[in-house]
Amino acid sequence: MKRIAIFASGSGTNFQQICEYFNKNKHATVEVLIVNKKNAYVRERAKNLGIEDYYFTQEDFYNSNKIVDLLQSKGIDMVVLAGFLWLVPANIIAAFPNKIVNIHPALLPNYGGKGMYGHHVHEAVIAAREPKSGITIHYVNEMYDSGDIIFQAECQLTEQDTVETLEEKIHLLEKEHFPKVIDSIL
């Protein structure tokens, strides 16, 4: 059985969808949640799903091997970033080469990089009057949103789209594709 660790910072909708998908799956399981915000709602979701969660400070994350040690002790095969906003440090990337994936709410390489997350991405896409947006699932390296692209899915935009309507379209793509792509990589 393959073991997945999920890193998250926020409410955890992608976390929950991934967990529910793999609860029905016999060859992989979500083993642990790593959070960088003590009060992140995703911790409540983990509790409700019976999944262990661990909070780490910025100091632990960037200046120690505590996370690598924990993940290795749990036998983790893949790390999934699901709304996790910190840049993953080199020691974690080295411990899990080509085994860390992220989802980004735009079609990379456009609208990526530091500070480009959530509504910030959607605002930029709408302001640029793009004809389409979408999601990108990619491997994680030492730079924001620049790892090799694994999968992209698109949605069309209209003149009437707002940040909120674009966000809804993106959430539907995430729900449909993210768990399946993780499964295909495993």
> Domain locations in the chain?
1-97
Residues for the chain: how many in total?
A: 186
**Cα gap 126→94, rounded to integer Å:** 37
**Cα gap 152→73, rounded to integer Å:** 33
Mean pLDDT of all residues belonging to the chain: 96
Tokens of 108: 């990379």
Which residue, 103, 85, 102, 8, is CA-closest to 53? 8
Residue in this structure with the two tokens 């910190």, named with its chain if needed: 86
Residue range 4-14: mean pLDDT, rounded: 95
Q: Thinking of the domain 1-97, which architecture would CATH place it in?
A: 3-Layer(aba) Sandwich (3.40)
Measured torsion, CA atoms of residues 177, 91, 121, 170, in degrees rounded to the nearest 10 = 10
Catalytic residue among 104, 119, 122, 177: 104
pLDDT at 139: 98
Residues 137, 177 contacting (CB under 8 angstroms): yes
Residue 104 has pLDDT above 90, yes or no: yes
Summarised one tens digit per residue, pLDDT across range 123-161 is 999 999 999 999 999 999 999 999 999 999 999 999 999
Active site residue 104: yes
Question: Could you give phi then psi for residue 58, rounded to 5 degrees?
Answer: -60, -40
Residue 22 has pLDDT above 90, yes or no: yes
Question: Could you give phi then psi for residue 103, rounded to 5 degrees?
Answer: -115, 135
**What's the sign of the alpha-carbon dihedral 184, 18, 40, 50?**
negative
Residue in this structure with the two tokens 């699932």, named with its chain if needed: 137
Greatest distance between any 2 Cα atoms in the chain = 51
pLDDT at 129: 96
pTM of structure: 0.95
